[in-house]
Each structure stands twice: as C-alpha cells, then as structure tokens.
Chain A
Amino acid sequence: MARVSRGFHGRRRTDVDPSRLPPGQYVVEDFPVLSAGPTPQTPLDEWSFTIKGAVDTERTWSWEEFLALPSETFTVDIHCVTKWSKLGTTWTGVSVDELLADVETGAEYVSAYSDGGYTTNLPLEDVTDGQASVAYEFGGEPLEPEHGGPARLLVPHLYFWKSAKWLRGLTLLDRDEPGFWETLGYHNRGDPWKEQRYWSD
C-alpha cells in the first residue's frame, strides 16, 4: 500500500477515460520531445529505408518509393516512459506488415535503427499483425524532425521510446539484441499497461 503524501490532493482529470491511461501516466495536450542527442537532418534525396539482416534479400526504398507504398491513417494513444500520455494522435504511414510482405525470414526479433545511431529492439510479433507502422505524417502534416521526421517507427502499444525516431530501417535478427535505452536501464519490452519502465520492473 502506497504511503499517503500529506497535503497532496492532486488534480484528477474528469475529461479523461481512465481505462485509456496506463498506470503512472498523465495526459498532456502538447507533444513533448525526448531524445538523447541532436536531431539528425537527413535530406529526403539521401533518405532510404531498408529491411536487412536475416532475410532472403535486402529490400530498400527511396523516399519517393516509400511514399508510393500503400499507406494508412489511424488514430492511437501514445505513452512515454517519462510519464506523459497523449491520447487520440493521428498518423499516416506504411504498416510494417506491408514492408515485410515479400520478405522471407525465420527471424523472431527486429532491431530498428535510425539516423544518429539510435537502435531499439522488439520481438517481431510486436510489430506485425497491424501493430506497428512507419509513420511520415502527424495530424495530416509532414512529421517534424524533432518528432522523428522524415519517418519514425510507431508501436503505440509499447512505451514510446520503442517508436524510434528518424527511422532508416529494420534489421531482422534470430536473437534479441538490446538497443540504446534497453542497455541503459530501460525495460527490454516496455509494456505500459504492465508498467515495464526499467530493468527491475
């Protein structure tokens, strides 16, 4: 049982459906930014997206080819490990299922990699079956660099650090390889509903 903080009453929000808010989270209206280093600036004509690793053949798309892929627009809640949640965010992008459609692989894990050297690891089963996409629009506008543009991974059912910004590709792996934050104390899977924030959770 948690100890009561004398004199603390808090400010419950009555306009938020509690069933949409994982434990320990609070709702924000703006869109906070979190990243470990400078924002990469990759010109679109130098941008490409690659599926590599344990695959039959590597696949690469240029920016224009990527935009020509079937896209979808969807609205989801996102949850950052630093406690904020943003409800009802609308994104447009390409589903990971679409990107893996023609790829033969026996891999069970994926390492998402980004400009600037960031990586994050996920079980393949967390990014397939309609659970993840590579998004390039937020709220109907091109995704801004500070929020991960040109394109970021979007895995809304896990803490938001798994939704790697400035995404450049996915490496399919037979074995799990912890990524950047996962080697720095953050949970390997990061399910907000189980409050898997840190190694000890």
Chain B
Amino acid sequence: MLTVRPETPHASNLVVDVPDWPGHLAGQHVDLRLTAEDGYQAERSYSIASAPEDGGHLALTVERLDDGEVSTYLTDEVRPGDTFELRGPIGGYFTWQAADGGPLVLLGGGSGLVPLAAMLRHRANAGAEVDTRLLVSARHWEDVLYRDELDAMASGGVDVRYTLTGSTPPGWDGWSRRVDADMLRELGPEPARRPRVFVCGPTPFVEHVANLLVAAGHEPQRVKTERFGPTGG
C-alpha cells in the first residue's frame, strides 16, 4: 500500500505497489484478499483504475459501502505500509486497447466509472485520437469520480457528458435525469458507425442502458457490460 486518499465523500483512491506485476489491460480487475489475525479471510474484486502504462503501481478506487466488510476496511482503516494479498489481472473481455480503435463509447454509473477511467488513461498515454465519448451518471456532483482529470480529458478531445439523477449544483448545464434514448442519441455516435460500447455500473443501470443501446440498433456483440452488485461489500 503506497497511498490512500479520499476521492469523493464515499470513495477512496488506493495506490498499491505490486511486485512482479505481469501487466494488465484497461478494464481488468483484481481480487483482493484480507486476512484477520485468527485466519478469517474475506475476498472481493476491484476494477483497476490505473492505465497499463503505470505498471505495478496499481490504482484502485474503492467505494465505501456502509455495510461493506472489505470496503469499510479499505476506506477507513488501511494506511501506507499495510500489505494485503492481491491476485490478477482478471477478466479478458471487458477490456479496451488503443489498437482496438473506435469509436469508443463509455457509459459509467457511479463507481462503474473506474474501469472506464483506466481505458481513458490508456487512451491518453497512447496518444490515441480515437473518437471517444463518455457519459457519467451519478446521483450528486460531489459523487463524481476523477472530476478534474475528466475536465482535462475533455480538453484533450474526449466528449465528456454528465447526468445527475439526485441533485444538481447551481448553474448546472448537464443532464439531470435517468439515462434515456434521447440522451444516448445526443451522445452518439450513431449505431451505423459500429462503436465499441462499454457499460459499467450497478445492475439496474447496466440493464437499463444496455437495453436502450440494443433498442437503438447497436449490435449486442459490441456492447460489453460489467456490473457491480449492490452487495459488492
């Protein structure tokens, strides 16, 4: 464990140093295992937020679930110098490499933004100019992860849009409703351009958005999904 710092009121960024890290692709995750003194263990999966180019300095963004057994430890208790067991990278499907090309459409609900951030960071590191559009859905503005970095990416050619489903700050000019067909049409690009679409978030978000995409004419095979269960812990 190298650093831990709050990202939002409900999420922390952890940077861990993994010796002999074999490398990963943007979108993959790790399994993290904690062991109590009496040998009791708990394991959970977390998406990798850092780009492949950052190697074994892995960034994880952990959302604190109030009743979470592992997430409360990782956000409240853990500190630099602590160690834990980590396994990965895992998952070979929900991944994107610059060489895969685009257009790229990333749709993230809540902490579903984490693996998408790894893709965006990889895109930036690779100097890729792939047509890339990102829609972030969150409840409140203060819940949005990586806000400053997303601002910088927006100036770097990524079309970044937000929709806030809870409250909006004064002067808000983004969307403020659940994702719908009009929103996806406006975000684009049109299905005929055969974009690679990645959807990540809580199950109801992913189900809803993926169904809208298919109804709009996107090929199901080009819509990749990753879901965070409500009991991710």
A residues whose Cβ falls under 8 Å from a Cβ of B:
2-12, 24, 26, 28-30, 32-41, 82-84, 116-117, 146, 180-181, 184-185, 198
Leading 7 A-B pairs by shortest Cβ distance: A32-B229, A38-B210, A184-B92, A5-B34, A2-B35, A33-B203, A8-B34
The answer to whether B36 and A36 touch across the interface, beta carbons within 8 angstroms, is no
A198–B230 alpha-carbon span in the complex (Å): 24
Q: How large is the interface on B (under 10, 10 to 19, 20 to 34, 35 or more residues)?
A: 35 or more
Partner of A10, one of B40, B90, B93: B40
Partner of A37, one of B41, B203, B225: B225
The answer to whether A3 and B85 touch across the interface, beta carbons within 8 angstroms, is yes
**Who on chain B is nearest to A8 by CB?**
B34
Please count the residue pairs between chain A and chain B whose beta carbons lie under 8 angstroms apart in the complex: 110
A5–B229 alpha-carbon span in the complex (Å): 25
B20 smallest CB distance to A (angstroms): 14
Residues of chain B within 8 A (CB-CB) of A34 are 227, 229
Binary interface encoding of chain B residues 195-228 relative to chain A, with 1 for a CB under 8 A from any of its CBs, else 0: 0000000010011001101100000110111010
Residues of chain B within 8 A (CB-CB) of A41 are 211, 214
Of the listed stretches B76-84, B114-122, B159-167, chain A binds: B76-84
Residues of chain B within 8 A (CB-CB) of A6 are 82
Partner of B207, one of A8, A146, A184, A185: A146
Residues of chain A within 8 A (CB-CB) of B214 are 38, 41
A156 smallest CB distance to B (angstroms): 19
9 contacts between A and B (CB under 8 A): A3-B35, A4-B37, A5-B35, A10-B69, A24-B33, A32-B227, A33-B229, A36-B225, A117-B221
Residues of chain B within 8 A (CB-CB) of A12 are 40
A2-B85, A38-B214 known, 5 other contacts, Cβ within 8 Å: A32-B229, A37-B225, A39-B211, A83-B44, A117-B221
Within 8 A of A (CB), among B148-169: none
A4–B73 alpha-carbon span in the complex (Å): 13
A39–B214 alpha-carbon span in the complex (Å): 9
Residues of chain A within 8 A (CB-CB) of B96 are none
The answer to whether A28 and B92 touch (CB under 8 A), given A7-B73, A37-B220, is: no
A36–B227 alpha-carbon span in the complex (Å): 9
**Who on chain A is nearest to B69 by CB?**
A11
